[in-house]
Amino acid sequence: MFPRPDFFPGTELNFAQNLLYPLHPDSQHPIKDDDIAIIAATETSRSEVSWEELRKRVGECYNALQHQGVKPLDRVAGFVGNHTNAIVAMLATTALGAIWTAVSPDTGVGAVLD
């Protein structure tokens, strides 16, 4: 469509809020704080994070980023593996309105430097 229409002008969406406080499709069984939000597994271990713990960790990371002066539209980069801490950092960053990007150490030095 050209020119592109302006849908919902002035509207903003908080991506982190929608992920941290999801609406359960079955209103008879709403999501509870102690329900499992993340199951993380490696070759040698498995861990679970509840919604309450995830929200707490995101809040702590949010506060730390804010204390460091991160503001909306700032860029935050993580050199992180694919694990729960990466999710926490991404959610905290987006909750602040900043832009998250990540590079995994698994990609190797050459890819990271590119």
Tens of pLDDT, residue by residue over 22-60, are 877 776 777 899 999 999 998 899 999 999 999 999 999
Q: Where are the domains of the chain?
A: 51-114
Distance between CA 49 and CA 42 in Å, rounded?
A: 14
Q: Which residues does 103 contact at the CB level (< 8 Å), separation at least 6?
A: 77, 78, 79, 80, 111, 112
Instruction: Please give the pLDDT value at position 97.
Output: 95
CATH class of 51-114: alpha beta
For the whole prediction, is pTM greater than 0.75?
A: yes
Tokens of 90: 């991404």
Residues in CB range of 105: below 8 A, 6 or more apart: 79, 80, 81, 112
Sign of CA dihedral 43, 101, 16, 64: positive
Task: Using pLDDT thresholds of 50, 70 and 90, give the confidence band for residue 63.
Answer: very high
- Tell the residue number behind the tokens 């050199």, with chain if given: 79
